[in-house]
């Protein structure tokens, strides 16, 4: 069901904030993924006169926007320092950088030199969140997937999309980094009211944390700490594709490549 106040909020803030940030903000205020997606579609289709036309049309959205904005600021302020990294609109996905072996297997080579082996029939689309290219975003998907589906995380499971965010490791050089990461994630998810399970994982010589979320939406995430960067994988479900992509990660600074 389309919620008018959510549509109004999105119309007022879509040009100012990334969609993922708005989704997290509204999820913290009780807006489900389904309601968000419905409202997002309406906000992107609706003409600007919905918020700038009549006086009545201006009053209600502005009041709703103020409430959501105040609550959203409170939620963001409660996050730990590593979650406060600068977020900017992402660039359009660029052509992937791939390496094809003599056996026909292909791999994606990331901006910082890491390597991900691509499942058969898969390709990668990379972009950056900031002008300094400090935060790289890569979507692994079946060949021919429409990039517009990347913004709808609720579709990741059925479409076999896996997202990877690579950003500076806030605990670089800290032996207790994985423990601090686990505590920060547990505090964030608990405060948000999510129903989730967490476990420690290791990929090659790198350690990290995996989170399986049941509510408010089903998803799986893997946070892996490299020497210089942190890898954050996100998918709709833990299946063979997700597992093979995560397990194939090779960091250029790791002891074993």
Q: What's residue 73's pLDDT? A: 45
pLDDT at res. 88: 45
| CB distance 226 to 206 below 8 Å | yes
Sign of the alpha-carbon dihedral angle for 224, 229, 234, 240: negative
- The strand order across the sheet containing 195-203 reads 122-128, 136-142, 162-168, 229-235, 219-225, 206-215, 195-203
Q: 216 and 120 share a domain?
A: yes
- Is residue 196 situated within a structural domain? yes
Nearest-Å Rg of the Cα atoms of the chain is: 19
Residue 87 corresponds to which tokens in the numbers above? 């977020």
Residue spans of the chain under pLDDT 50: 48-61, 66-67, 70-96, 101-103, 257
Does residue 155 share a domain with residue 73? Answer: no
Query: Does 127 lie in the same domain as 232?
Result: yes
- Final residue in a domain of this structure, among 78, 113, 130: 78
Question: What pLDDT sits at residue 99?
Answer: 56
Domain-located, residue 89:
no
| Pair (192, 236) in one structural domain | yes
Position 31 scores a pLDDT of 76
Domain of 185, in residue numbers: 98-247
Over residues 225-237, the pLDDT tens digits come to 999 999 999 999 9
- 164 and 102 in a common domain: yes
The token pair at 114 is 């890491």
Asked whether residue 85 is assigned to any structural domain, the reply reads: no
* SS3 per residue for the chain: CCCHHHHHHHHHHCCCCCHHHHHHHHHHCCCCHHHHHHHHHHHHHCCCHHHHCCHHHHHHHHHHHHHHHHHHHHHHHHCCHHHHCCCCCCCCCECCCEEECCCCCEEEECCCCCEEECCCCEEEEEEECCCCCCCEEEEEEECCCCHHHHHCHHHHHHHCCEEEEEEECCCCCCCCHHHHHHHHHHHHHHHHCCEEEEEEEEECCEEEEEEEEEECCCEEEEEEECCCEEEEEEECCCCHHHHHHHHCCECCCCCCC
Q: What is the pLDDT of residue 10?
A: 74
pLDDT at 86: 40
Same structural domain, 38 and 115: no
Q: Which two tokens stand for residue 115?
A: 């390597």
Residue 104: predicted pLDDT: 59
| b/e burial code for range 220-231 (CB count within 10 A of at least 16 → b) | bbbbbbbebbbb
- Those residues whose C-beta lies under 8 Å from the C-beta of residue 57, and which sit 6 or more positions away, are 49, 50, 51
In a domain, 219, yes or no: yes
Same domain, yes or no, for 65 and 135? no
Same structural domain, 175 and 126 = yes
Same domain, yes or no: 134 and 236: yes
**Residue 239 and residue 119 share a domain:** yes
Distance, CA of 242 to CA of 238 (rounded, Å): 6
Q: How many domains does the chain have?
A: 2
| 191 falls within a domain | yes
Residues 241, 126 within the same domain: yes
| Domain annotation covers residue 92 | no
Domain-located, residue 40: yes
What pLDDT does 56 receive?
42
CATH code of the domain in which 108 resides: 3.40.1000
Where is the domain boundary, 17, 49, 78? 78
Domain boundary among 46, 78, 110: 78
Check whether residue 161 and residue 235 sit in a common domain.
yes
pLDDT at 98: 56
């Amino acid at each position: 069901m389309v919620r008018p106040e959510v549509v109004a909020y999105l119309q007022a803030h879509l040009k100012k904030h990334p969609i993922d940030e708005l989704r997290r903000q509204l999820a913290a205020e009780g807006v489900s993924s389904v309601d968000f997606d419905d409202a997002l579609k309406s906000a992107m289709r609706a003409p600007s006169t919905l918020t700038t036309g009549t006086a009545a049309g201006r009053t209600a959205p502005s009041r709703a926007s103020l409430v959501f904005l105040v609550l959203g600021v409170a939620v963001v302020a409660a996050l730990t320092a590593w979650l406060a990294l600068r977020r900017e609109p992402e660039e359009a996905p660029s052509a992937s950088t791939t390496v094809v072996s003599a056996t026909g297997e292909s791999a994606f080579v990331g901006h910082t030199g890491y390597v991900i082996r691509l499942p058969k029939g898969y390709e990668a689309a990379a972009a950056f969140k900031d002008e300094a290219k400090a935060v790289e975003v890569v979507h692994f998907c079946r060949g021919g997937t429409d990039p517009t589906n990347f913004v709808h995380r609720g579709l990741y499971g059925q479409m076999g999309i896996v997202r990877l965010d690579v950003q500076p490791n806030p605990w670089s050089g800290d032996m207790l980094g994985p423990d601090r990461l686990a505590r920060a994630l547990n505090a964030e998810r608990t405060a948000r009211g999510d129903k989730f399970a967490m476990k420690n994982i290791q990929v090659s010589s790198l350690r990290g944390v995996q989170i399986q979320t049941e509510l408010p939406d089903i998803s799986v995430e893997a946070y892996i700490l490299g020497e210089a960067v942190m890898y954050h994988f996100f998918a709709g479900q833990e299946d063979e594709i997700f597992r093979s992509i995560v397990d194939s990660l090779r960091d250029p600074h790791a002891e074993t490549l």
